[in-house]
Structure 1
């Protein structure tokens, strides 16, 4: 498996957001064997190579972003890197990115189900922190319906500084 060069998305090569197929990058025009199909733009974009995302040229060319919204961090360079040079994960609604220690967290993976959080040894802590968000869903609902293949999906993040896990939940 290749190593990711996306600071906030270290597992891009193991994730479903990356399409492994032949295509032609709409930004640079090169033939590619892996690409991202989506960004937030008014343009019709369905094939962007990773180098064009990484260097920011796709965001400039298509006047778009790869992340819909995120927690606030004070450093504008970090915001630029996340929104314009980091591909988004596949979400039910819009891609939302969590932050901790005044930096964006790394998106690690999708949560398979509520028991998946037990393996981390911090299920209650994750759920309680999630419940404190103004846009959270009721915890009883999340506990009952959270599943990777259902209409309630969890996204696991980890702070690169303190090592704490964070949970985001998306509902169809």
Structure 2
């Protein structure tokens, strides 16, 4: 019964937080995003994270928690938007026969978003090494010199980044 009581307490805590703070969060996100539909989606995602975390009953400052989670989700949203804009701009520069189908574009955007999120989860130095190699095209020796580390450390960081990207793309 103790597990049932805890689950019930958690549901009541979430319902209470939702009733007390949903409107406030929706207004906050609406001001940040300038779009009520996106704000509603991110507010929903914020509360979904709260439910998934499973510790709503122990929150002493729900608004601080909701602000942190919604800020992170907003950053992800803007990052996805920037990726999509950059991708669409790159597509616009391609000759017509090279333009991928709408289905392929959706898959590519989904993959780019997943890789971006995967890179965000890496330690900053590993991410920087990966970007210097893959975006800037620097050889490992130049990366090592620029960062003041060994080529072996660059190789290990790249392996870690590749593993993270592969995990995301296999889902």
More strand by share: 1
Q: Which has the higher contact order (CA 8 A, sep 6+)?
A: 1
Q: Return the index of the structure with the highest Cα Rg.
A: 2
TM range (shorter): under 0.3
TM-score, normalization by structure 2: 0.26
More helix by share: 2
